[in-house]
Amino acid sequence: MLEKQSESVGVIGLGIMGGTIARNLVAAGHRVIGFDPDAARCDEARAAGVEIVDAARMLIAEARQILTSLPSSEALDQTVAAIGGVSESERRGLVVAELSTLPLSCKQANRERLDGAGVVLLDCPLSGTGAQALTRDLAVYASGDAEACKRFAGVFSGFSRVNHYLGEFGNGTKMKLVANLLVAIHNVAAAEAILLGVKGGLDPSTLCEILASGAGTSRIFEMRAPMMVDESYEPATMKLEVWQKDMALIREFVADCGVPTPTFSATEPIYKAALEAGRNQQDTAAVYAVLQNCSK
C-alpha cells in the first residue's frame, strides 16, 4: 500500500482535462494518486509524478479528497459503484468533487447513492478547455455541501484561476450549461465575423488583432480566431464530437426551463454540418470551414 499523507488528492479519469489537472496538482505540491482504465494515460501521468493505482477502489483507500473527470454517465455510475464497494471505514470522511459536464439527473442519482454510503458528492463542473487547463486558466463552478466545498479550496487553487461557490447541489452544472450556451454562440459568431472581414478584403492577422482588442471580443474569439484564420483545427481544444454532448445537455436544460434561445438554436445546424463533413475529431473552430463552404 502507498504511504499515506494528509494532503493526498485522488484523481479518477486522466484524460485531456483530468490528466492535466493531476499534473498541475503535482506541480503545486500535492501528492496525487490517479486511476484511469487507459494504460497510456496512466503512463503519461506517472511520468509527471502522479502515483498510479490499478483500480479506483485502491485510490479511495489513499485519499479523503477525490476529483472525478469522466467522459460519460456510465463512467460516473461505475466509479460510484466502486466507491460503494469499499469498506465503511475506508469511505469515512470521503468527499468527491465531480468535475465533468454530465446530465444533472445522473449526478443527482449518484449523489443519493453516495449519501446512503456516507460519502459527500459535490457538483463542480469546470469552465475552460484542455488548452486552458494547461495554464490553470479554469473556473470551478462548485455546488453542494458548503463545508465540503471549502475543504477543496486548496485543491481547486492548484489547477484553476478561480473557484465560485454557487450553493445547492446542481447549481454548478446549471451555471456550466448557461456558460456553454454562450460559448456555442461566441464560437460561431467569431467565425461569422472573421469570414465577413476576410471576404471584405481585410488582412486576416490585422482583423484578429484589432477585433481581439475591441468591444466585440470574447475569450472564445481570442482562443479560436487564430485557428480559424490559419484554418488549422488540430490538435483540438474541444473536439466537435465531444461538444455535441454539451450541446445536447444545453438543449435539455433549455427545454426544462421553457425559455426561447433563438441565437443558440441558430448555431445548431452549423455544428451539425461540421460533423457531417467528417470533422468530428477537429476543434469546434472548424465551424469556420462550414461557413466558408456556404459563402460565395
Predicted TM-score of the model (pTM): 0.92
**1-10, 52-61, 97-106: which has the highest mean pLDDT?**
97-106
Coil, helix or strand for 66?
strand
Domain 174-294 classified CATH 1.10.1040.10?
yes
Please check the confidence at residue 121 and state whether its pLDDT lies above 60: yes
Asked whether the CA dihedral 247, 132, 287, 195 is positive or negative, the reply is positive
Average pLDDT over residues 45-51: 98
pLDDT range class, residue 42, cuts 50, 70, 90: very high
Identify the CA nearest to 249 among candidates 56, 103, 49: 103
Please check the confidence at residue 39 and state whether its pLDDT lies above 70: yes
Q: In the structure grid, which three cell numbers stand for residue 19, read together?
A: 490528466
Q: How many helices (H) and strands (E) does the chain have?
A: 15, 9
Given the C-alpha cell 447541489, which residue does it identify?
169
- Counting Cα atoms < 13 Å in the Cβ hemisphere of 203 gives 4
Give the pairing type, strands 51-52 and 65-68.
unpaired
Residue ranges of the chain that CATH labels 1.10.1040.10: 174-294
Average pLDDT over residues 25-33: 97
CATH architecture of 8-169: 3-Layer(aba) Sandwich (3.40)
Residue ranges of the chain that CATH labels 3.40.50.720: 8-169
- pLDDT tens-digit readout, 194-243: 999 999 999 999 999 999 999 999 999 999 999 999 999 999 989 999 99
- CA angle 107/109/111 to nearest 5° reads 65
CB neighbourhood size of 46 (10 A): 13
Instruction: Identify the pLDDT of residue 6.
Output: 42
Please check the confidence at residue 2 and state whether its pLDDT lies above 80: no
